[in-house]
């Protein structure tokens, strides 16, 4: 019985790696680690395995005397919002953008923030102990916990997102929503219709197996075609659990998280709403974002990959906006984490308020060609000790400066080293990436067979 947290909770193949037995044990451990003073809020996305995983975690929690409130199918930010409002711990059952065969669990501390790394380590340690020893009997009789269906969780979350615009409307703006057959399939159309937009909806018929399948933020090609054909002002594509969004402009162009950050940050700066004139982004964000913000005397604060790192830095420095290139955007005045629908609403509010097209707004940021390679290796740790490799990598970075950069990151969970190169042209970026891949393979030994 093993479990390990990644950068965004726990994930695995449902009923094989993420088994009911393991999830039940996890529920028991969560009751120990997080306490049973407040009911746990549980939500899920639309995967076929969702009800099974939910039943297992509820069994574990209630076996230890915890009460559970079931939110049903709801985006991750909706679950986090409910946890914040109730001061309750929470779990979201989802594997985000992964295929339907996978599932996962994201855990939130009381108040809706993702649990800390320290708490993750405690959960992992207690689960290992539980695997070696039979669990002690839980409470009996009236001490056994029970679950309840929450009253109107969807309406509560939708009202929260709509309220973030403080009465501003999207009347007359046509938008196409690709719900990815995921957790946002009900809430996203409700939000934008309530804001007054003219809404066309794609991929909002989940059947348990079609989440993220050739749709949503992982594949917005269908959305691009519909936006252009319908003459819409914009399109929004959500991932499986609704915490990130990719936008499409009126010409079918993709607008990623970096561009969304640039658009929203400049608008907030003009309205004097950008506290401390700084934005948080990760080390993977495009150089174009830094240059765009610098041109407007806005600081870019870089953190490691993961929206939890963004949230922590926003709080530490009392900042209003941050996010990731993938489309995880956090508006700290309105949410405790990334929220795809909230981001989409604020982005379209800028479009409506300025009267400019989304394509024109996105033009404030000049993207640098970016090449990303995942290099499979035998020993990802070996590269960290190889001083010759890092000196060669540093020299390559010097050659690219100031019109490019390189980033080499061993994966925390896979036998992979990630290589990212930005350069003035795709050709230059590809050549540099090839050089770095060769160096990585030499430093970390040959790739494993197969």
The catalytic residues are 96
**Distance separating the N- and C-terminal Cα atoms of the chain:** 27
Q: Distance between CA 222 and CA 304 in Å, rounded?
A: 32
Kindly give, in sequence order, each residue whose CB lies less than 8 Å from that of residue 335, ignoring residues fewer than 6 positions away. Answer: 77, 80, 81, 342
Half-sphere exposure of 232 (CA within 13 A, CB side): 26
What ranges make up the beta strands (E) of 389-441?
A: 405-410, 416-422
Smallest CA-to-CA distance from 417 within 439, 394, 450, 392 is with 439
Would you give the DSSP letter of residue 115?
A: P
Residue 255: what are its φ and ψ, rounded to 5°? -115, 110
406 near 420, Cβ under 8 Å? yes
Kindly give, in sequence order, each residue whose CB lies less than 8 Å from that of residue 447, ignoring residues fewer than 6 positions away. Answer: 375, 376, 377, 378, 441
Strand, helix or coil at 303? strand
Q: Is the dihedral of CA 99, 114, 159, 262 positive or negative?
A: negative
Cα–Cα distance list, 114 to 99, 108, 336, 337 (Å): 23, 4, 9, 8
What tokens does 227 get?
Answer: 């936006």
Smallest CA-to-CA distance from 409 within 298, 277, 306 is with 306
Q: Is the dihedral of CA 439, 443, 445, 450 positive or negative?
A: negative
């Amino acid at each position: 019985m093993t479990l390990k947290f990644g950068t965004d909770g726990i994930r695995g193949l449902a009923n094989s790696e993420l088994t009911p037995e393991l999830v039940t044990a996890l529920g028991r451990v969560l009751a120990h680690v997080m306490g049973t003073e407040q009911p746990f809020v549980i939500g899920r996305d639309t995967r076929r395995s969702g009800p099974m995983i939910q039943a297992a975690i509820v069994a574990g929690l209630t076996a230890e005397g915890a009460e559970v409130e079931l939110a049903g199918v709801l985006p991750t930010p909706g679950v986090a919002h409910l946890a914040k409002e109730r001061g309750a711990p929470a779990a979201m059952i989802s594997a985000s953008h992964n295929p339907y065969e996978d599932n996962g669990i994201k855990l939130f501390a009381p108040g809706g923030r993702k649990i800390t790394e320290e708490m993750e380590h405690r959960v992992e340690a207690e689960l290992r102990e539980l695997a070696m020893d039979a669990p002690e009997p839980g409470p009996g009789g009236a001490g056994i916990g029970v679950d309840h269906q929450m009253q109107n969780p969807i309406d509560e979350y939708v009202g929260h997102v709509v309220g973030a615009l403080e009465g501003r409307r999207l009347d007359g703006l046509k938008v196409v929503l690709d719900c990815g057959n995921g957790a946002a399939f009900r809430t996203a159309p409700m939000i934008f219709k309530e804001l007054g937009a003219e809404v066309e909806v794609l991929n909002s018929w989940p059947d348990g197996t079609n989440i993220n399948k050739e749709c949503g933020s992982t594949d917005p090609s269908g959305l691009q075609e519909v936006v252009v054909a319908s003459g819409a002002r914009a399109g929004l594509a959500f991932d499986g659990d609704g915490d990130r969004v990719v936008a499409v402009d009126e010409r079918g162009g993709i607008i990623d998280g970096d561009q969304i950050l640039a658009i929203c940050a400049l608008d907030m700066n003009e309205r004097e709403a950008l506290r401390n004139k700084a934005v948080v982004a990760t080390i993977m964000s495009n150089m174009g974002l830094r240059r765009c913000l610098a041109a407007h005397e806005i600081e870019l604060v870089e953190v490691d990959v993961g929206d939890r790192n963004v949230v922590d830095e926003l709080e530490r420095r009392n900042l209003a906006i941050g996010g990731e290139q993938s489309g995880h955007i956090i508006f700290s005045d309105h949410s405790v984490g990334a929220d795809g629908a909230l981001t989409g609403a604020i982005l379209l509010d800028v479009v409506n308020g300025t009267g400019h097209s989304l394509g024109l707004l996105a033009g404030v940021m000049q993207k640098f060609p970016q090449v990303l390679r995942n290099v499979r290796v035998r020993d990802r740790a070996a590269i960290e000790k190889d001083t010759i490799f890092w000196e060669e990598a540093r020299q390559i970075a010097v050659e690219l400066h100031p019109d490019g950069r390189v980033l080499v990151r061993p994966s925390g969970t896979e036998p992979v080293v990630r290589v990212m190169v930005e350069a003035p042209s795709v050709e230059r970026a590809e050549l540099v990436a090839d050089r770095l891949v060769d160096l990585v393979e030499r430093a970390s030994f040959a790739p494993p067979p197969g």
